[in-house]
Amino acid sequence: MIDLYTYATPNGRKPAILLEELELPYTIHKIDIGKGEQFSPKFVAINPNSKIPVIVDRDADITVFESGAILIYLAEKTSKLLPTVTVDRVKVIEWLMFQMASVGPMFGQLGHFRNAAPEQLPYAIARYETETRRLLGVLDRQLADQPYIAGDYSIADIATFPWVAAVKSPYLNVSLDDVPAVQRWIEQMKTRPAVRVGMDILDPDYSSTFGTLAGAEEAIAQ
């Protein structure tokens, strides 16, 4: 059994999508970052960096934090969605790191300065919107002649999709008109049942064959 400590953010949705793809049983523990529950002593004990998501693999007695590390761990645990052939494996890890180092941080900064900063800073918004558009262009070129980011469907797609899916939302508000291959990939990803369920975690309409929501008495922040 996997315990998933998470919240409904792009990073928080990644492990849920993969757990659904792998058909592994898991329990979701809501960590409300809006209330600062990630700073509770119990949560810091499993992630000293006070960030979601975290998983605890009860069968192996292993705790993993950082979403990219979680995806690699689960893929290796099941020998799925991460190739074993070196050249293919490296390609997937390259694009996973592209998401971790570039897509997530840059998109996140755009969202912060557009929505959460105490004052509107045109320079910061323009800087991060320009970088977001550049990264979307990189993805578009990569997806122009292949169905998924690293060729076959992999954890690179799972890591990247929740962030790119937010691009047209009011939070980021960036047009996808100039990246048709990215648009095609988004629609293709949406057809996957595991992606739909993983994106719905903590929503009222969340329903899963493999995942369950922990009761209030099980919440780590209590």
**Segment (H or E) for 6:** strand 2-6
* pTM, 2 dp: 0.96
Tokens describing residue 4: 């998933």
* DSSP helix/strand/coil, 151: strand
- Read off the pLDDT of residues 130-172 as tens digits, 9 standing for 90 and up: 999 999 999 999 999 999 999 999 999 999 999 999 998 989 9
pLDDT, mean of residues 111-120: 95
Residue 38 has pLDDT above 50, yes or no: yes
Rounded distance, CA 130 to CA 126, Å?
6
Q: 197: closest CA among 184, 212, 182, 186?
A: 212
Contacts of 203 (CB under 8 A, 6+ apart): 8
169 versus 106: which is more confidently predicted? 106
What pLDDT was estimated at residue 220?
Answer: 62
The strands making up 26-30's β-sheet, listed across from edge to edge, are: 62-65, 54-57, 2-6, 26-30, 211-213
- Read off the pLDDT of residues 43-70 as tens digits, 9 standing for 90 and up: 999 999 999 999 999 999 999 999 999 9
What pLDDT was estimated at residue 76?
Answer: 98
Q: Are 81 and 153 contacting, i.e. CB atoms less than 8 angstroms apart? A: yes
What pLDDT was estimated at residue 124?
Answer: 97
Q: What angle do CA 148, 154, 155 make, to 5 degrees?
A: 120
Rounded distance, CA 65 to CA 11, Å?
11
What pLDDT was estimated at residue 83?
Answer: 98
Q: 68: closest CA among 44, 38, 101, 39?
A: 101
Q: Are 73 and 146 contacting, i.e. CB atoms less than 8 angstroms apart? A: no
What pLDDT was estimated at residue 222?
Answer: 43
Cis status, amide bond into 53, omega within 30 of 0: yes
pLDDT, mean of residues 189-204: 97
| Residue 219: pLDDT band with limits 50, 70, 90 | low
Measured from the Cβ of residue 221, the count of other Cβ atoms closer than 10 Å reads 17
| Domains of the chain and any CATH numbers | 2-80+196-218 (3.40.30.10), 86-192 (1.20.1050.10)
Residue 221 has pLDDT above 50, yes or no: no
Q: Are 192 and 18 contacting, i.e. CB atoms less than 8 angstroms apart? A: no
Q: What percent of the chain has pLDDT over 90?
A: 94
What pLDDT was estimated at residue 215?
Answer: 82
Rounded distance, CA 206 to CA 80, Å?
25
What pLDDT was estimated at residue 46?
Answer: 97
Residue 89 has pLDDT above 70, yes or no: yes
Measured from the Cβ of residue 66, the count of other Cβ atoms closer than 10 Å reads 16
Residue 74 has pLDDT above 50, yes or no: yes
Q: What percent of the chain has pLDDT over 70?
A: 97
Residue 185 has pLDDT above 50, yes or no: yes
For the chain, the average pLDDT equals: 96
